Each structure stands twice: as structure tokens, then as C-alpha cells.
A and B are shown apart, each in its own frame.
Chain A
Amino acid sequence: DIQMTQSPSSLSASVGDRVTITCRASQGINSYLAWFQQKPGKAPKSLIYAASSLQSGVPSKFSGSGSGTDFTLTISNLQPEDFATYYCQQYKTYPLTFGGGTKVEIK
């Protein structure tokens, strides 16, 4: 199975900050990488597919990059509604696997 490792596991940031979350795959996955946002008690929301393409309706403050084994999610101009847990996921091979999550908290 492909292991997905996110870092950091949590971070504290202020409104208006720019934050970057890293996701590393245990083997190459080309660009078959997605990012999701989840708020407490809510379903995940899809943000990015193919490492850098925004899902429909997702604001451009979210951006993704990377290919192969190393990927990043960047959130610009952090707003109160962006404080949540973020997950990466590889969909190159079965079983599909998720990272452990990064909790973005208010400083």
C-alpha cells in the first residue's frame, strides 16, 4: 500500500496568514493526488484533484503543487472559515489512501 504522510499534523496561524501543508507519498503517484477540507462534525469537502486543479467552486486562495512523491497545499489569506483539518489522498493505485490530516487552528 502507498503510505501518505502529512506534515505538520497541526499548525497555528492567524487570520490573513499564508500556510503550507506538505504531503509525501511512499512511492511515486504521478499527479494522482487530491486535497480535502473537513470541519468538525461535517463531511469532507473536495478542494483539489490532479495535484493542482481546483474542484468546481473552490476559491483560488487554495492552490496545490507537486508530482511524484512530494506535494503541497497552500492557503492564502487565511480566513476564519478556513480553520479546519486538511487531508491529502492518493488515487493512483488501490487501496486508495489518505494522509493522517493537518489541523489548522487559530493562533
Chain B
Amino acid sequence: EVQLVESGGGLVQPGGSLRLSCAASGFTFSDHYMDWVRQAPGKGLEWVGRTRNKANSYTTEYAASVKGRFTVSRDDSQNSLYLQMNSLKTEDTAVYYCARNRRGGSNYDYGFDYWGRGTLVSVSS
């Protein structure tokens, strides 16, 4: 059974840092791209960033709103995905979800197929 479990959320002051983790199980983590998506209270979904797999050199992509402040990384030996968040702003307050981007033969993109339950990040003084 595929499972994604986020952790590391909490209350942090503006300008502070936080590192989120996503523990993956039930599938070959190293095969897939992995993403972070967030949802501010009462708002819609916003894509944050992506890390590709080893076959694609672990390259990353980011939303403009977080580029230069957030870093997506992964440790395939630990089946874990990370989101390092620096210079946090009040508008970063959200539930942060990790999501699996399923990849098939010839790198076919099946989109997001599994999501974690999320972890809440609150940025406030």
C-alpha cells in the first residue's frame, strides 16, 4: 500500500526556517518524481515544487512564489522527500502536502496519483 506521511510542520515566526519531511512507503520511491503542494486556510491548491528522479538527475522546479527561499530535496536511501523553507512569510501559512508524480515507461506522466495527509505550517509573530 502506498503511503506518504508528512511531518515537521508547526508555528514559526516570519523570517524563520522550517524543514518538512515526507516519508514514503509501499512503492519504489526512487522511480518517481515527487512534489509539494500547499493549501492556505480556506483557499485552493497551489503547487510549490518538484524533484525529479535519479534518472533525470534529481533536477528541481519551483513556483515563483517560493523560488530562492524553498528547496526541494530527496534521499532515496531513506525513501524520504524534504522541503527546506527559509525566509518564511505570513503568506506561506498553509497545509503542505507531498504528492507522488507517477512515471511509467518512456517517462510517461500519469500526474499526481497519491497524496499525503499534509502538515500545517503557521507563520506568525
Contacts and interface: CB of A to CB of B under 8 A. Distances in A.
Interface of A: 1, 32, 34, 36, 38, 42-46, 49-50, 55-56, 87, 89, 91, 94-101
Interface of B: 35, 37, 44-47, 50, 61-64, 97, 99, 109-118
Contacts of B35: 96
B23 to A, nearest CB: 15
Best-buried of B35, B44, B62 by chain A (most CB within 10 Å): B44
Contacts of B47: 89, 95-98
A14 B114 CA distance: 29
Nearest to B118: A43
A91 B46 CA distance: 13
A98 B45 CA distance: 6
Contact of A46 (B44, B111, B117): B111
Contacts of B117: 42-43
A46 B46 contact: no
Contacts of B113: 46, 49, 55-56
Given A50-B111, A91-B109, A91-B111, A43 B116 contact: yes
Contacts of A36: 45, 112
Contacts of A101: 44-45
